[in-house]
Structure 1
Amino acid sequence: MKKETISSGRLVRDGLISIFLYAFPVLLMFVVLKATGEQPWLAAIDERIPFKAPDWIENIFRNFRTWGLPVIVVALGIVEFSLGLYENRWKKNEAMLDIVCFAIPKIIIRPAVVYFTLAVLPYILPNAANVFAWVPFVWALFIIAVADDLTQYWYHRLHHQIPWLWRFHRTHHSASYMGMAMASRQNIIYTIFFSQIYLTAALTYLGLGYAALFVGAVKSIITTAAHSSIAWDKPFYKYKILHPFAWVLERLISTPATHHAHHADSTDDGIGHYKGNFGNMFFLWDIIFGTGIITRKYPSAYGIKHYKEEEWYAQFLWPLLKSKKKGSELSADGPIVGDEFPAAVSEEFSEVVPVASVSQSHP
């Protein structure tokens, strides 16, 4: 099959659509405020009392964003292991990589990035702290959710569509299994430059931090559940009465079926779609940009066909540390392969590039 190329025209088109999507929540907010005659930005600072959830709900979300999510991930991981869902594929090298990628970003990298961003912004924008604190809570949720997740969609998509960026994201796709063990599996450079973290930190500085707390928690739940090897979405496809809800669900957010397809090691079965299904919290971006497929089925295998089981430290710290595996993308002067099958690996692996469209079939 002819190799798909990403034309500059398509990127320009999708970029313009993205600009509109970023602006849409803000424009819609002002339209509604105009229609209702409300002008919350004119209120005195001490009158700008933001929405505040009941203390017990707020504590749930605050705890979830700190120690809660890691506890849930570990608990689900134990369930997955007890059910034998990893099928003895969690070898020592893979386990070490997964554990390091789970712990280091949460303990060091992400807190440092947020701290650095919030420390630098007062010097760059000295008079902008809490300037948008007047934004009503519901609209702040909408603005944060779109800005954060659309930015991550593009960050993710470009790491698949630009070959030299692929090696920074390759670590996340090298696992031959899905589940809590590999959900945080990322190269350190990919994590440090995780674009939406800086954006969300900036919006927090500008006064939308309370909404960011809730959006971040909900997004963590959705993305974590989408990586799980527990196929919680299957009942929605099995029972006819739930099909209308399933139709909306799978187009709105990432589910195990749609995200597992993104981690497939091949596209031969018509289910795998590693050059699409880029959505993190919202699968809606893939629908809008035509980069998604929906099959309601699961791939038979995951990972990378040309995976050489590179050392955990090379996968985590490349290009700071290189792999000793000959011919590896992560070795010194390694080839830039991209997320496709290199012809030199084996003639039996012919490249099949997914078509950027949305289709549906029932099991």
Structure 2
Amino acid sequence: MNSHVMYLLIALAIVGFAVAEVVSRQYRETVYATSNDTKLELLMTISLVAFTQPVILLATDRLCAWLAPDLRGAWSGFPWWAMVGILLVGDDMLQYWWHRASHSGLLWPLHRAHHSASYMSIRVTYRNNFLYYLMMPGLWVAGVLLYFGFGGVYYAYILVKLVVILSAHCAWAWDAPLYRTRALHPVMWIVERVISTPATHRAHHAITNVDGIGHYKGNFGNLLFFWDVLFGTAHITRKYPAEVGLRDDRLFGYERWDHQMFYPLLQSSREYSALKFGGQIYSDESEAEMQINTTTSSAR
């Protein structure tokens, strides 16, 4: 597969899922995006495609040509299944760990924007901080592997990965009717442990964990959900959280799109904000603490 065919198929995949969202009426009924959301999602997607990915690919190509000039295309003779295996580890598993690390205090401000959407849709797929993708290790590894000769296989791999990621974020939960079909339960048992699905990924985007469905501290897989199963962060319920998004946005007001995209260059002045130096990250534990303090104050 060459790059032109890949781009065409990617465009068709995006259009296909967009149509599914509209035809199923899930976009109209569940996606209540503001202009703030639209600016963040549109500009992040454009910056990723037009700047971040080309810069990383160019930089890795130049660095490899400088450091290892004789290795260009050196792995092009590998069988396709070996290339796929290397990509799954060097790109997808590495992205699992990057995503998991991004839910820690240090990196959370760079990933927070992805979770601030109060809806699920393919438009959320690349909603993140600008530095999140620029620093993503998997993209740099992919650039090196392209230099080593993974071209055609990489394009096919990235197409499959994009389809899975789009399907996991889609406003239309394609797995719901399959869960309702008893004959497909054994098949879905395998599927939901291999790839990311709307049910497992919505749990990751849930606004809370206390309902037993939400699991924003796990379900980190992008293409393969198997990494969550392997590393103990999987939570499978076949149910969908009532709400997605961030509780602190509901309580203190939504962060501006430019603060979300360009932190730390731009910082929030909001209470309980991760988008400022020294800011406190709000969580279920924070809410419980606030409720205790309120109850104590009332008792007095």
- Same fold (TM > 0.5): yes
Q: Which of 135, 144, 155 does residue 87 from structure 2 map onto?
A: 144
Percent of aligned positions that are identical: 34
Letter in 2 for 1:196: G
Quote how far apart the aligned CAs of 1:73 are: 5.7
Are residues 1:282 and 2:282 paired?
no
- Structure-2 residue corresponding to 1:246: 188
70 and 246 in structure 1: CA distance in 2 versus 1, 3 angstrom threshold = closer
Which whole-Å CA distance do the structure 2 matches of 1:100 and 1:347 have between them?
38
Aligned residues: 290
Tell me: CA distance 1:173–1:134, structure 2 relative to 1, closer, same or farther (3 Å). Answer: same
Change (3 A) 1:153 1:339: farther
Unaligned runs of 5+ in 2: 294-300
Distance in 2 (alpha carbons) for counterparts of 1:207 and 1:277 = 32
Q: Which amino acid aligns with 1:146?
A: V
Partner of 2:255: 310
SS in 2 for 1:268: coil
Deviations 1:51-86 (A, max 9, x none): xx6x9xx86435235x44554565556557775233
Aligned twin of 1:10: none
Q: Distance in 2 between matches of 1:167 and 1:201?
A: 25
Q: Which moved more, 1:259-268 or 1:339-348?
A: 339-348
Q: Deviations over 1:220-275 (max 9, x none)?
A: 00011001110101122111111111011000000000000000010111100000
Q: Which amino acid letter does the alignment assign opposite residue 182 of structure 1?
A: V
Q: Structure 1 residues 197 and 69, CA, compared in 2 at 3 Å: closer, same or farther?
A: farther
Aligned to 1:214: 156
Partner of 2:175 in structure 1?
233
Residue 72 of structure 2 is aligned to residue 129 of structure 1: yes
Could you say if the C-alpha distance between residues 329 and 81 of structure 1 is closer, same or farther in structure 2, counting changes exceeding 3 Å?
farther
Counterpart CA distance in 2 for 1:136 and 1:204 is 15
Task: State whether residues 178 and 302 of structure 1, in contact with CA within 8 Å, keep that contact through their aligned partners in structure 2.
Answer: yes
TM-score of the pair, normalised by structure 2: 0.88
* Equivalent residue for 1:93, pick from 9, 16, 36: 36
Quote the Cα distance in structure 1 between the aligned partners of 2:198 and 2:92: 18
1:113-192 equivalences in 2 (<5 Å) = 113-160=56-103, 162-192=104-134
- The question of 1:201 aligning with 2:143 is answered yes
* Structure 2 residue aligned with 1:104: 47
Q: In 2, Cα distance between the equivalents of 1:341 and 1:93?
A: 28
1:301 lines up with 2:243 in the alignment: yes
Match of 1:337 among 277, 281, 288: 281
| Cα RMSD for the two superposed structures | 2.4
- Give the superposition deviation at 1:143: 2.1
Any stretches of 5+ residues in structure 1 without a counterpart?
Answer: 1-52, 350-363
- The residue type equivalent to 1:106 in the other structure is V
> Which residue identity does 1:241 align to in structure 2?
A
Range 274-283 or range 203-212, more displaced? 203-212
Mapped pair 1:63 → 2:8: yes
2:48 aligned counterpart, secondary structure: helix
Query: Could you tell me whether the CA contact under 8 Å between 1:163 and 1:339 is conserved in 2?
Result: no
Compare CA radii of gyration and give the structure with the larger one: 1
- Contact 1:163 1:336 survives alignment (8 Å): no
Q: Give the Cα separation in 2 of the matches to 1:269 and 1:82.
A: 23
Equivalent residue of 2:29, what SS? coil
Scaled by the length of structure 1, the TM-score of the pair is: 0.74
User: Who is 1:270 aligned against?
Assistant: 212
The range that moved more, 205-214 or 218-227, is 205-214
- Corresponding residue for 1:30? none
- Give the number of the structure whose residues are more often helix, by fraction: 2
Cα shift at 1:141: 2.0
Counterpart residue identity of residue 272, structure 1: G
CA–CA distance in 1 between the matches of 2:288 and 2:273? 12
